[in-house]
Amino acid sequence: MEMLTFTILKASMSSSPMLNKLLFFLCLAGASFARQHPDVDCVVLHLEKVKCTWNRHDNLSVNYTFFSWFHGKKASTCETYLTNNSLTNGCIQPYGDKLNRFYTFYTNLVYGNDSFPKEHELLHKVKLYPPTNLTVQNGSDLNLWFYWNQTDPKCVQNEVRYRTNYKKWDTYTVTDGKQNYCINLPSSRSQYELQVRSRLSKVCADSGWGDWSEPVFWGSSNSTESEQVNGSMFVWIIVYVLAPVILILLVVLLLRYERFRVIFIHVVPKPSLIQDAESWLPIPKGLKEGFKANYHEKACCVREYHQ
């Protein structure tokens, strides 16, 4: 870089003053870009390891040597390097004592004669692993119980989330030190999906949340399908079972009570009184003539009596 800068400056001596200033500015900018290095970021993994990375800007061009140490301790080289495209971009170191997060953590990236030291405060930069041994079961109280295990539960706060039939998540924070959660009276027709994550509680210098655990499931998500299956089964029962039974009963009733007949009679118009009497009463002609009146009486005038 120094030889390139000297060459550019030498070539610019015979140029105009404006061009000289532009070239000088470009040289300074190139030198500043050449000195730029990735920023180191560190986090404590489950109070067991320290993970540091320096590839956030993806501008690596060399392999750095990494050194780290806690305050009052000796510097040590990286135990396990992380690489990307054959270039080192991170390191995982042993954590040591659980109280180390209360002390300053020092890092130093070295390449040739260049070194880039940095100080880190890791008190609130602890990331716990997800809980283990996740189980879910239906208790004797008809409630759904969710259990898990986590390191040092007295200093750990857990957060549970669950959803039914792949709908929206419901999230709940569990009391410090508690490693179970209860869902009251779950529906047997729904599928429950549960996850849990952890962090250090405020009593032990709180930290950020860790990753969610692998989900565990309880119940069945085929409630709609089962209802449709039950409905179709009901229809098949009616068609193939009840219908033949009803048909057989009707046949038995017809055979048992065959003396009953239904006779359809046409409507007969009502005849006149005389024609009707002559048709169904065989009256002799002489008797019929005797009923005819052969005398005459004078009409009498009748009036109301007044005194």
> Highest-confidence range of 73-77, 228-232, 265-269, by mean pLDDT?
73-77
Going from N- to C-terminal start, the domains of the chain cover 2-35, 41-126, 128-221
What does the pLDDT look like over 150-184, one tens digit per residue?
Answer: 887 788 999 999 999 999 999 999 988 899 999 99
d(CA 135, CA 284): 111
**Structure confidence by residue, pLDDT tens digits, 249-296:** 888 777 766 555 556 666 656 555 555 555 555 666 666 666 666 656
187 compared with 288, residue with greater pLDDT = 187
- At residue 52, φ and ψ (nearest 5 deg) are -120, 140
What is the Cα–Cα distance from 140 to 169, expressed in whole angstroms?
A: 26
Of the pLDDT bands very low, low, confident and very high (cuts 50, 70, 90), residue 229 is: very low
The two domains 41-126 and 128-221 share their CATH topology (first three levels equal): yes
Residue 249 vs residue 116, higher pLDDT: 116
235-266: b or e for each residue (b if 16 or more CB lie within 10 Å)? eeeeeeeeeeeeeeeeeeeeeeeeeeeeeeee
Residue 103's pLDDT is: 94
On the question of pLDDT at 246 being above 70, the answer is: yes
- Provide the greatest CA pair distance for the chain: 172
**What strands lie across the sheet with 170-173, from one edge to the other?**
170-173, 156-164, 191-200, 216-219
Instruction: Answer with the residue of higher pLDDT: 209 or 57.
Output: 209
Beta strands 126-127 and 41-45, pairing class: parallel
Q: In the prediction, which pLDDT does 11 show?
A: 44
What does the pLDDT average to over 138-153? 87
**DSSP 8-state symbol, 95:** -
- The predicted-structure confidence for 32-60, as pLDDT tens digits, reads as follows 444 456 789 999 999 999 999 997 666 77
Q: What is the pLDDT of residue 8?
A: 42
Q: Check whether 2 has a pLDDT greater than 60.
A: no
What number does CATH give the domain 128-221? 2.60.40.10
pLDDT value at residue 241? 77
Tokens representing residue 94 in the block = 């042993």
Average pLDDT, the chain: 78
Q: Look up the CATH superfamily of 41-126.
A: Immunoglobulins (2.60.40.10)
| In the predicted structure, residue 223 carries a pLDDT above the cut 50 | no
* 86-108: pLDDT as tens digits: 889 999 999 999 899 999 999 99
Q: Where are the alpha helices (DSSP H) in the chain?
A: 2-12, 17-35, 223-237, 243-256, 273-280, 285-290
Q: Which residue has the higher pLDDT, 244 or 4?
A: 244
Average pLDDT, integer, range 22-35: 48
- Per-residue confidence (pLDDT) for residue 61, from 0 to 100: 83
Burial 66-77, CB ≥16 within 10 A → b, else e:
bbbbbeeeeeee
